[in-house]
């Protein structure tokens, strides 16, 4: 099956995990991460994390067709080199999403849990700062592009990757 | 040399999906950005040096010191915010 899907449609965790580990009896662990749309965003201003419930009414996700897929394929290649994992799968949604909707799935299989836990986090940290997606939030005050976060660059740096986004 | 420039997110809203550009041979992505900035007030605003922007060459993340190649697809966009 494909390792990377960029799609408007929702995804099903159970089906994705079943497909990921199908026909591989060496798998002893699967780690998955799902990112979802929040109904709030951090307040402006350094250090402020005041979030107003209900402030985000919808979210529009844009990507760079072709580059997004190949960038994530390269990240999976890097994860396979770096960690003792069996397989990985990334699904990322695009288009209009509502609060509570699933946005992204990363699932990784391995023989033992440590490698898939680590590879799952590595792939999310990588994707957050190096895969070309952009979020635009609809709020009562109008639509606004979401700002990239320095904290996400710091998360990637933990893995020894210095590429920065912000 | 002829190249194709694409824009995404807020840059796409300001400048459109893309444009064909003539760039001097051997030019870098940084030189291309300067040339675009000089091409119109809209470009000057959207691509201003005060903005943190990222760029790609042939659909791979690149930096402004990267040399552009003939016929290449180049893209400029804001920092990414997926996941």
Q: Tell me, yes or no, whether B82 lies in a domain.
A: no
Query: Are residues A148 and B80, on separate chains, in Cβ contact within 8 Å?
Result: yes
pLDDT in tens, B27-58: 999 999 999 999 999 999 999 999 999 999 99
Mean pLDDT of the A62-88 span? 98
The domain total for chain B is 1
What percent of chain A stands above pLDDT 70? Answer: 95
Which domain covers residue A136, as residue numbers? Answer: 4-40+52-157
Closest residue by Cα to residue A88 from A34, A24, A21 = A21
- What are the distances in angstroms from CA A61 to CA A153, B1, B18? 20, 33, 19
CATH of the domain at A74: 3.90.1170.40
A148, part of any domain: yes
Q: Is residue B83 part of a domain?
A: no
Residue A98 resides in a domain: yes
User: Which tens digits make up the pLDDT trace of A113-127?
Assistant: 999 999 999 999 999
Identify whether A31 is part of a domain. Answer: yes
**Residue contact B83–A124, C-beta within 8 A:** yes
pLDDT at A145 over 80: yes
Q: Please report the pLDDT score of residue A45 as a whole number.
A: 42
Please check the confidence at residue A1 and state whether its pLDDT lies above 90.
Answer: no
Q: What is the model's pTM?
A: 0.94
**Is A19 within a domain?**
yes
Number of domains in chain A: 1
Q: Which of A143, A161, A154 is nearest to A59 (CA)?
A: A143
- A:B CB pairs within 8 Å: 77
CB contact under 8 A, A134 and B56: no
Interface of B with A (CB under 8 A): 6, 8-10, 12, 52, 54, 56, 59-61, 75, 77-83
Q: What is the CATH number of the domain that holds B54?
A: 3.10.20.30
Q: Which residues contact A150 (CB under 8 A, 6 or more apart)?
A: A166
Question: Does residue A163 form part of some domain?
Answer: no
Residue span of the structural domain in which B10 resides: 2-77
pLDDT of amino acid A46: 43
Mean pLDDT of A103-107: 98
Q: Is A124 touching B (CB cutoff 8 A)? A: yes
């Amino acid at each position: 099956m494909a390792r990377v899907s960029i799609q408007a449609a929702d995804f099903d965790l159970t089906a994705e995990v079943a497909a990921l580990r199908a026909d591989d009896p060496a798998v002893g662990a699967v780690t998955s991460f799902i990112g979802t749309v929040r109904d709030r965003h951090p307040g402006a201003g350094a250090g402020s994390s005041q979030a107003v419930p209900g402030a985000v009414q919808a979210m529009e996700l844009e990507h760079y067709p072709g580059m997004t897929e190949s960038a994530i394929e390269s990240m999976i290649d890097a994860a396979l080199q770096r960690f003792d994992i069996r397989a990985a799968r990334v699904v990322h949604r695009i288009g209009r999403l509502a609060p509570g909707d699933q946005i992204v799935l990363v699932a990784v299989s391995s023989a033992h849990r440590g490698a898939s836990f680590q590879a799952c986090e590595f792939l999310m940290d990588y994707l957050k700062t190096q895969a070309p997606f952009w979020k635009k939030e609809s709020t009562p005050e109008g639509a606004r592009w979401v700002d990239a976060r320095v904290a996400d660059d710091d998360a990637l740096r933990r893995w020894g990757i210095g590429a920065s986004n912000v | 040399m002829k190249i194709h420039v694409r824009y995404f997110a807020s840059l796409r809203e300001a400048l459109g999906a893309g444009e064909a550009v003539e760039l001097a041979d051997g030019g870098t992505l940084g030189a291309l950005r300067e040339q675009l900035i000089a091409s119109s007030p809209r470009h000057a605003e959207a691509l201003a040096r005060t903005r943190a922007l990222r760029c790609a060459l042939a659909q791979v993340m690149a930096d402004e010191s990267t040399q552009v190649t003939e016929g290449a697809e180049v893209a400029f966009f804001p920092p990414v915010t997926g996941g």
